[in-house]
A and B are shown apart, each in its own frame.
Chain A
Amino acid sequence: MQAVARRPRTNHLDLAQRILDVARQCGFEAGAHLPEQQIASLCNVSRTPVRAALRLLTEKGVVRWEAESGYRLAVDLTNQATVAADLPSAEEDELVEMILRDRSARRLDQTVTIGALMRRYGAERKTVLKALKKLTDENLLDRAPGQAWLFRRAPDDPEAQGESYEFRLLLEPAAILGPGFRLDGTRAAALRQGMETLLALPDAAFDIKEFQRLDIDFHGLIADGAANRFVTDSLSDHLRLRRLPGTYAGVNVFRLKQSLREHLTILDQLESRQYEIAADLLRVHLRLSRSQRPQAASRGAPALFGMISRPD
């Protein structure tokens, strides 16, 4: 049995992240003043939770408290990822991670119940319920009749991965080509910096988790840039599936680095507003990432294969 540790409250963590997003969108630089009332207005909440969230950010060194002037931003938010990674996870977030990990390794069946999850993880009923709600909100789980929940199909088998690429090939270039596409320049600059840093690492030190984060962020940037909200929602829902454990396993560093270079070239075109070229490059990038690996072959057996797609 795996006990779930005590963690900060989810709403404080969410608000802390929202404060950072707002500060970034407003162009706040390191050292900028963060008045509680202004932050509360910008985030549409009262001052009390803002205070708790700012305290949390202070503990993490993202914000500093000065007796005379109050809270000030302590970091450069263009490096947003580092900040997000530094925030602790909530109790139910940790449980969500464990559930997904165990489902990916097939330690959990496709159907789960609250009671079984409480016993397995030594968690309280309310924590399990929150975790299940989160998984349901993220379209990873469905409520089944009775007390059961059913995992949705994840893109962790060759056929589902193939369908996932087909879907993305349809929609991601369309997100760029639709009227009103807008690139978030600050986010793009932070992504570029992160990808260049990762590319500079020697193969032996390559960080696949960091690649996964950058990859999802890059494609999320395109999804969020679409002016059509339904396109954004569909792509964002689908990209969430790529956060699941196992999605990025088994890809060698050569391809991952190649993939980062492709991202950078697409970013170049997006920043130059050459959207048609960017969309074409994106199609090529997705097609290359979808290349095939043999599923089974042996001495004398014909070279037959199933698709095992690679991350882009």
Chain B
Amino acid sequence: MTRKASPTIALFPEASFGAALNCVGIAQALRARGARPVFICHAGFSGVFADYGFQEYQLPTDEPLTDSERQSYWQAFVRRHLPHFRLSPIDQLETYVAPTWEAIVDTAVNAEAPLRQLLARLKPDAVVLDNVIMFPALAAAGCPWVRVVSCAETELPDANVPPYLSGLAADDPSREAFEVRYLAAVAPAHDRFSRLRADAGLAPLPKGLFLEASPDLNLLLTPTIVRRQRAEPLDPARFVYLEGCVRSEGPFDVPVFPRNEGPLVYLSFGSLGAMDVGLIERMLAVFDRLPARFIVNVGGLRDTYRAVPDNVFLDAWFPQPSVVAKSDLFIHHGGNNSFCEALRFGVPSLIMPYCWDGHDNARRAVETGVGRHLSRDGWSDEELENIILGLMADGEMRFRLKENAATMARAPGTDAAAEAILALVRT
């Protein structure tokens, strides 16, 4: 391959904020090194990447929804799944995980033809895929593709690593039961996915797997402090661990609170978790009696809250890395992005997962002593109060996290990712 001064790197994150913003961080580092990062995105994410100054290429959708259809979809989605988010990981397999895999396969099927056309037109020097499913068009693009493992290290199976989405410890005796039930639950989606691969000339993947490792480069967003000892170590030539992947954001001025004293706590359950208004309202009632200030991300649902306590500030969106950097505690859903941001700035995590990789990251936070886990359901006011106060008073954890944050700051994951990608296209 010829060496280009400004290679075009097409980043293709899935339609979630976590993946989108990881890729923004990598793209910022690529741009700083003279590359031309561009984004392939779903119509719903239009504007997110342009906002950071990147060219966007939308994947066309055949049937865009009207505003009222969109609203109805989300109302139905939340009504259907909120009860499931309170179930254990194993009980979510049939209720949430299997239908979600079906929807993800739908996405891959629908994207295949337009993605092929777009890649043929773009002719990128590499494609960076931050997703949980393979798009066969990438294998046919005629350039290297890079996989970003951004949910949790559990995405890559190993005997010493717990099953993906299980929230179990590696040596948990119920591991096998989870695996059996997982394979059964996702089998229909996997069969459909295998047919998509076969149509595109790709071999099927082992049962339960929807995405293979890239033959070229794989980036794992797993900081050292939470990394696992694998039975079969990953080949360092193809697998690069990153110390997170935190993007640059503008400054954040902490608002003045009517009760303006005490440590700062940031709460964000991501865009989907923000819809769990009942849970957040219960938490606000506890926050009201704590000697701390709370910044709470409520997405577009601010109007559903009333009589918010004087030590709480609600808003629809925050420049999260800049907020976490000023916080003393981060309460989140265990999304890898949030988890890595907490680690990057040396802030303890209180993880209240609702689905997917949140369970795995919550387990790992407890195992490695970088945070605590609280289930979304079944906690008492006293329990929440004690866990928040306990985390804020845990000097030993804070000291260790600050030391680790300094290590992470010295080796930004975004820079390491950009270097590895550029080394690949310049080989």
Contact = CB atoms under 8 A, between A and B. Distances in A.
Interface of A: 2, 98, 101-102, 105-107, 109, 156-158, 203-206, 208-209, 246, 249-256, 258, 291-306, 308, 310
Interface string B306-317: 111110111111
18 contacts: A101-B256, A105-B255, A106-B307, A157-B316, A252-B250, A292-B47, A294-B45, A297-B17, A298-B270, A299-B14, A300-B99, A301-B100, A301-B272, A302-B44, A303-B44, A304-B65, A304-B73, A305-B44
Nearest to B259: A2
Interface in B212-264: 248-251, 253, 255-256, 258
A306 B317 CA distance: 13
A256 B307 CA distance: 32
B12 interface: no
B52 A105 contact: no
The CB with the most chain B CB atoms within 10 A, among A158, A209, A252, A256, is that of A252
Given A101-B256, A106-B302, A299-B100, 6 more contacts: A107-B310, A156-B302, A297-B271, A300-B99, A302-B103, A304-B70
A183 to B, nearest CB: 30
B399 interface: no
Contact of A249 (B51, B275, B303, B315): B315
The 5 A-B residue pairs with the shortest CB-CB distance, nearest first, are A303-B44, A250-B317, A303-B15, A291-B47, A300-B100
B351 to A, nearest CB: 16
B16 interface: yes
B317 A308 contact: yes
Contacts of A304: 44, 65, 70, 73-74
Contacts of B258: 2, 98, 102, 107
Contacts of A306: 70, 300
A157 B53 contact: no
A59 B233 CA distance: 71
Given A106-B302, A293-B48, A310-B51, A205 B251 contact: yes
A107 B319 contact: no
A105 B312 contact: yes
B285 interface: no
State the majority secondary structure of interface residues on B: loop
B306 A295 contact: no
Given A106-B314, A208-B251, A303-B44, A252 B51 contact: yes
Given A208-B251, A254-B53, A303 B314 contact: no
B48 A294 contact: yes
A304 B314 CA distance: 23
Contacts of A294: 15, 17, 44-45, 48, 271
Contacts of B205: none
B248 A203 contact: yes
A7 B46 CA distance: 48
B271 A105 contact: no
Contact of A297 (B50, B272, B305, B309): B272
B84 interface: no
B308 A106 contact: yes
B330 interface: no
Nearest to A288: B50
Contact of B45 (A109, A258, A303): A303
B101 interface: yes
B57 interface: no
Given A246-B315, A249-B316, A302-B44, A206 B251 contact: yes
Contact of B43 (A209, A255, A296, A303): A303
Given A208-B253, A254-B51, A299 B16 contact: yes
Given A250-B316, A250-B319, A292-B47, A105 B308 contact: yes
A229 to B, nearest CB: 34
Given A106-B308, A299-B356, A308 B53 contact: no
